[in-house]
Amino acid sequence: MADVAVTVIGGGVVGLAIAAELAPRYSPFFVLERNARYGQETSSRNSEVIHAGIYYPPGSLKARLCVEGREMLYRLCEANDIPHRRVTKIITATKREEEPELERLHKVGTGNGAKLEFLSAAQVHAMEPHITTVGGLLSPSTGIISAHGVMDFYHHSARLHGAEVQLHCTVVGLERQPDGYLVTIEEGGQRSSFSSEWVINAAGLECDTIAALAGIDVQQAGYRLHYCKGSYFALPGSMNSLVSRLVYPVPTKHSLGVHVVIDLGGRLKFGPDVEYLPDRRLNYEVDPSKRHAFAESVRRILAFVKDEDLTPDMSGIRPKTQAPGDPTRDFIIAHETARGLPGLINLIGMESPALTASPAIAKYVSDLMKTS
């Protein structure tokens, strides 16, 4: 018999949500996290938006798990006092040529299960007097959440049900055995190993490295990650009252567009942009020379913003499975039985909307384990 029933690699929002869902049913249960605290990587470097599920291709896991996860997340927040707010969101067309895109988004979004209402320019201005618009879409179910708040909740629930969350613990080996996997970890320069019946790879920006440790050819499997940075610039506090909800432009082929993000303290930020990185260094510096380009994007929506109003803020890195210029790819959540690796579940390319989708992702993984 294996030493441990389930090992989750990665203490981000996805790994913690999975631990909270599974720990009541599996024991002993480990979550292994390489950093000194959980949730220090992508899970704390994002827009903290509860997405409605508007943009994702119909039938995709992103669409389905976002819509399911959004409702689950609101229920969790309300029942457990997790800081959040249904601020709502407007997608604004800033010129007539963008209006067909609003119609397309309305069709795709409502098909996915996001409620959306068309707004005239006058209706948009009644809600947001300062934004540029010829008409828009209102998403009443879009909100914002404290990412740390929800991770603290998952962490607490998992531990309450007996899960051990090991920090400063890097997984460096994963070897198939008859009754599971031999997991090798490095803690404080020391290596040790234990066996685990199930291994769940929720390692975010290293999910492909972990899959490779298990012997998967990640290039051939389509698991190889491309790091794609998103930076934000902030507005001075004196401008915070100029916008009261999330405001997005109509999206481009590769991004939702630099948009207005509001945090729970009412602070306004713009971002994230899209910058594929040349290597896998976790460089979170925001390049101040991007200020003019940001200001130009922002002026599409808020014409009065000057370059000097913007200050570099924060950034996050998306774990994308698509290379620059390639079409968007879906989440990959796979029980690897077909690769001869039963008991290994890989979660690959868990970019946006995985924060929103986190409770539904956890349920999806739990169902995979029950049915396989």
SS3 84: strand
Q: Report the greatest alpha carbon distance in the chain.
A: 67
Binding mask of the shown chain, residues 247 to 286, with x at each position contacting ligand FAD by CB under 6 A: -------------------------x--------------
CB 167 within 8 A of CB 36: yes
Of 21, 23, 41, 143, which lies in the binding site for ligand FAD, with binding defined by CB under 6 A? 41
Cβ atoms within 10 A of the Cβ of 197, count? 18
Smaller CB distance to ligand FAD: residue 42 or 112? Answer: 42
Binding mask 334-353 for ligand FAD (x = CB under 6 A): ----------------xxxx
Rounded-to-10 torsion of CA 323, 328, 333, 338: -70
Classify strands 311-320 and 259-262 as parallel, antiparallel or unpaired: unpaired
Closer Cβ to ligand FAD, 14 or 341, answer by number: 14
- Least spacing, CB of residue 316 vs ligand FAD, in Å: 3
Element (H, E) at 371: helix 354-371
Contacts of 301 (CB under 8 A, 6+ apart): 92, 94, 131, 132, 247, 249, 259, 260
In the bound state with ligand FAD, the residue whose beta carbon lies nearer, of 46 and 141, is: 46
Taking CB under 6 A as the binding criterion, the range among 9-17, 95-103, 131-139, 247-255 that sits at the site for ligand FAD is 9-17
Residues 104-163 that bind ligand FAD (CB under 6 A): none
Which of 2, 8, 22, 32 lies at the binding interface for ligand FAD (CB under 6 A)? 32
C-alpha–C-alpha distance, residues 256 and 248, integer Å: 7
| Residue 63 near ligand FAD by CB under 6 A | no
Alpha-carbon span 318 to 227, nearest angstrom = 6
Could you say whether residue 316 binds ligand FAD (CB under 6 A)?
yes
Taking CB under 6 A as the binding criterion, the range among 35-43, 77-85, 244-252, 274-282 that sits at the site for ligand FAD is: 35-43
Check: CB of residue 101 under 8 Å from CB of residue 94: no
Nearest residue (CB) to ligand FAD, 9 versus 108: 9
- The reply to whether 359 sits near ligand FAD by the rule CB under 6 A is no
Contact between 151 and 13 under an 8 Å Cβ cutoff? The reply is yes
Are 359 and 75 contacting, i.e. CB atoms less than 8 angstroms apart?
A: no
- Each residue 188-207 as x (binds ligand FAD by CB under 6 A) or -, in order, gives --------------xxxxx-
Which is it for strands 84-85 and 170-177: parallel, antiparallel or unpaired?
A: unpaired
Q: Could you tell me the two tokens for 214?
A: 């298990």
Considering only residues 2, 4, 9, 114, which one is a binding residue for ligand FAD as defined by CB under 6 A? Answer: 9
Closest approach of ligand FAD to the CB of residue 166, in Å: 9
Residue of the chain from 22, 354, 360, 365 that contacts ligand FAD (CB under 6 A): 354
Residue 91 interacts with ligand FAD (CB under 6 A): yes or no: no
**Cα dihedral 151/62/65/108 (nearest 10):** 130
The nearest distance, CB 255 to ligand FAD, in angstroms, is 10
- Sign of torsion over alpha carbons 7, 12, 18, 21: positive
Q: Which is nearer to ligand FAD, 41 or 309 (CB)?
A: 41
Give the integer Cα–Cα distance in Å for 124 and 137.
9
φ, ψ for residue 139, nearest 5 deg: -110, 100
Exactly one of 62, 84, 155, 318 binds ligand FAD (CB under 6 A); which one? Answer: 318
The reply on whether position 13 binds ligand FAD by CB under 6 A is yes
Give the footprint of ligand FAD on this chain (CB under 6 A).
9-15, 32-35, 40-43, 45-49, 51, 170-171, 202-206, 230, 272, 316-318, 350-356
